[in-house]
Copies of this chain bind each other. A is one copy, B any other.
Amino acid sequence: MKRAFVRARRPEHKQQRREAILVAARDLAMASGVRNVSLGAVAEAVGLAKSNIMRYFGTREEIYLILAAEEWRQWAEAVTTRLEASDDVAAALAETLADRPLLCDLLSQTATTLEHNVSIEAARTFKRAILAVIADVGAQVARLTGLRVDEGVELVSAATALAGILYPIANPSPMLAELYAQDPDIAATCPDFLPTLIRALKALLAGLPTLRED
C-alpha cells in the first residue's frame, strides 16, 4: 500500500522521511533477510520513488551500513549492561549477539557486500563507529578477564566475525533446510549458533594469553 508523500522541504520533515526509510529497511530485513531487500522494496514500503530515496541515501548498501552502525552501538550498550552483572565474558558476548538477528545478518554481509557500493564518507563513518565500539567493549573485556587490551579487542573482533559466519549457517535457506531434513547426517554437522560461538570464545580466552612473548 503506497502512501503518497509530498516533497519534504523543512529540515524536520527531511529528518522524519530519513527515519521512515531506515525503519522500513529494518522491517524488511527482519522479515526476509538483508540480502533479499532491494532499494525498490524499501521505496515501495515508504511510498517514495527510488530516485527520491536516493536524495537521502546513495544506495541500499548505505542504508544498511547506517543500520549496522546503530545495531553495533546498541549491542555495545547491551554487553556493557550485561558485564556489570556477570563476568562470564564468553557468554555475555555470545548471548547478546544471539539476541540480535539483524545485527548478525548485517555482520554476515558487511565485508562481502555492504562495504561495496557506498561512498567513501559512508564507509568512513561506519568504520569509525564500529572501531569505537570494538575499542570500548574490548577494554571492558580486558578489565574483566586479565587479557591485555589488544587481546580484548581481538576477542571482540572474533566474536562479531564468528557471529557473521554462524548466522547464515544457522539460518539456512528453504532449500538447505530441505536437504537437512532429507540427510540428517549432513544436518548433524551444521553448527548451532550459541554453543559454537561460546565454545570458540572460551577457547580463544584460554589460548590468547599463551601466545604472549614476554
Measured CB to CB, the residues of A under 8 A from B are 35, 108-109, 111-113, 115-116, 118-120, 123-124, 127-128, 131, 157-158, 161-162, 164-165, 168-169, 172-173, 175-176, 178-179, 182-183, 186, 189, 191, 199-200, 202-208, 210-211
- Chain B proximity of A75: nearest CB distance (Å): 18
What residues on B are CB-neighbors of A120 within 8 Å?
A: 175, 178-179, 182
What residues on B are CB-neighbors of A178 within 8 Å?
A: 120
Please state the number of chain copies in the assembly: 2
Cβ-defined contact, B211 with A173, below 8 A:
no
What residues on B are CB-neighbors of A176 within 8 Å?
A: 115, 123
A123 to B207, alpha carbons, bound, how many Å?
A: 35
What residues on B are CB-neighbors of A208 within 8 Å?
A: 203, 207
Q: A123-B175, A200-B204 are in contact. List 18 more A-B contacts (CB 8 A).
A: A111-B165, A111-B169, A112-B112, A112-B113, A115-B168, A115-B173, A120-B178, A120-B182, A124-B179, A199-B211, A202-B207, A203-B208, A203-B210, A203-B211, A204-B204, A204-B207, A205-B207, A206-B207
What residues on B are CB-neighbors of A158 within 8 Å?
A: 200
A156 to B207, alpha carbons, bound, how many Å?
A: 16
Q: Which 8 A-B pairs rank lowest in CB-CB distance, beginning with the nearest?
A: A207-B207, A203-B207, A206-B207, A111-B168, A206-B210, A161-B165, A203-B208, A116-B173
Cβ-defined contact, B204 with A203, below 8 A:
yes
What residues on B are CB-neighbors of A116 within 8 Å?
A: 35, 173, 175
